[in-house]
Amino acid sequence: MNEQRGFLVFFIVAIAAVAGLMLKPFLPYVMGAAILGFILRPLDRKIRPYFGEVASAGSLVFLTLFLAILPMFLGVTVVLDDAQDLSSRIGDLETIDLSRIDQRLEEITGEEFNIEENIRNAIRGFASITFGSISQVFNLVLNLAIGLSLMLFLLYYFIKDGSDLLVWLKDIVPLPEDIQDSLIKRTNVTTWAVVKGHVLVALAQGLVAGIGLYIAGVPNPYFWTFVMTMMAFLPIVGSFIIWGPAAVYMIAIDHIVAGLFLLLYGTVVVGLTDNFLRPLVVDKSAEIHPAVIIIGVLGGVYLFGAPGLFIGPVIFGVLRASLVVFKNNYAEL
């Protein structure tokens, strides 16, 4: 490598590093816009011949805003309100009848328990750290609004100019065209498998489980529905980690009918949501091992925050597709 090439490589790396630092605070929203653009591309291809690229992209952005972003934003507001209510009440242990559970455990085991005394301080500390103050909640909502506005702005251009971006990337990447086409095809299949088989299934499972909690009369159902939706992204854990203990709790405080209903509902209805819906929407040829999904979810949350629930598994799906293409075409490189 001569001096001119060395300088050019150094200059590109330096500029890319600065650009990366500038992009870092907004990276989850940029990647979210890219994933939404990918999901909306098939619909854009169908309506673009009738409306044109500008009207097609604009209409899909408004469709996303009114059918996804606004409901999600309103849902976050409801969940935060429910969480604040839970935080204020749980400090005095008003929502959890621990004395009755103490009594029931003593009747069963013959041993005296004092759960309330042991976990009061722990609950208060957890509530304070998790939910924070009103100002923290306001900052969270404000940052979310700014990020979602940026995501919608970028989504418009990902839809409108996505084909041009793909052509530019294919021209820049130093790989044979057939290998690039294979990589794009596998990435497309794998990403759709992740989106349909894990993201959509998790959202459906959390919502269905939340309906069961609401019917059973579990306190603060909106907050727990949110938690179950997050847990549903973990294939092994799932929403059972919430509705199972909730059913046991309802039985322990003598709401036996509600508790038994929740156990039956969770086992049958929520279980069918996962066992029936996932095989229906997942492309078997692109199935990703549950361990990879768990790592993608946890790693995505650690790196990107809440949007990482969606972004993490997709990144691992793309990595898997890239490794398969590399393995199949290594001899040609």
Shared domain check, 249 and 139: no
Q: How far is residue 84's CA from residue 9's CA, in Å, rounded to a whole number?
A: 52
Shared domain check, 262 and 202: yes
Q: Tell me which DSSP letter residue 307 carries.
A: T
Give me 190's structure tokens: 């794998």
Shared domain check, 265 and 146: no
| Structure-token match 């820049």, residue found | 172
Shared domain check, 259 and 222: yes
> Which of 118, 153, 172 represents a domain boundary (last residue)?
172
Whether 9 maps to a domain, the answer reads: no
Shared domain check, 112 and 85: yes
Answer whether residue 33 shows pLDDT above 80.
yes
Answer whether residue 117 shows pLDDT above 60.
no
Rounded mean pLDDT, 125-146? 58
Whether 7 maps to a domain, the answer reads: no
Its pTM stands at 0.69
Shared domain check, 247 and 323: yes
Confidence of residue 271 (pLDDT cuts 50, 70, 90): confident
Answer whether residue 264 shows pLDDT above 90.
yes
Helices (H), 161-255: 162-172, 177-194, 201-216, 221-231, 240-252
Confidence of residue 143 (pLDDT cuts 50, 70, 90): confident
Q: How many domains does the chain have?
A: 2
Whether 39 maps to a domain, the answer reads: yes
Whether 34 maps to a domain, the answer reads: yes
Answer whether residue 55 shows pLDDT above 50.
yes
Whether 13 maps to a domain, the answer reads: no
Q: Which residues contact 113 (CB under 8 A, 6 or more apart)?
A: 101, 102, 105, 106
Say what the pLDDT of residue 131 is: 47
* Predicted confidence (pLDDT) per residue in 56-107, tens digit: 999 999 888 887 777 776 776 777 677 666 666 655 544 455 565 556 656 6
Instruction: Tell me which range, 123-127, 138-142, 281-285, is most confidently predicted by mean pLDDT.
Output: 138-142
DSSP secondary structure, 89-106, as one string: HHTTT-SS-HHHHHHHHH
Residue ranges making up the domain that contains 224:
179-333
DSSP secondary structure, 5-66, as one string: HHHHHHHHHHHHHHHHHHHGGGHHHHHHHHHHHHHHHHHHHHHHHHH-HHHHHHHHHHHHII
* Predicted confidence (pLDDT) per residue in 164-181, tens digit: 888 888 888 887 888 888
Say what the pLDDT of residue 95 is: 45
Shared domain check, 325 and 233: yes
Say what the pLDDT of residue 212 is: 92
Confidence of residue 130 (pLDDT cuts 50, 70, 90): very low
Give me 274's structure tokens: 């996962």
* Predicted confidence (pLDDT) per residue in 101-114, tens digit: 556 656 666 666 55
Say what the pLDDT of residue 261 is: 93
Whether 19 maps to a domain, the answer reads: no
Angle formed at CA 68 by CA 62 and CA 72, multiple of 5 degrees: 130
Rounded mean pLDDT, 131-137? 51
Shared domain check, 267 and 236: yes
> Which of 156, 172, 188 represents a domain boundary (last residue)?
172
Shared domain check, 289 and 192: yes
Confidence of residue 283 (pLDDT cuts 50, 70, 90): low
Whether 8 maps to a domain, the answer reads: no
Shared domain check, 188 and 106: no
| Structure-token match 């994933």, residue found | 35
> Which of 172, 193, 219 represents a domain boundary (last residue)?
172
Question: For the chain, how many residues are written?
Answer: 333
Shared domain check, 223 and 147: no
Whether 136 maps to a domain, the answer reads: yes
Shared domain check, 66 and 99: yes
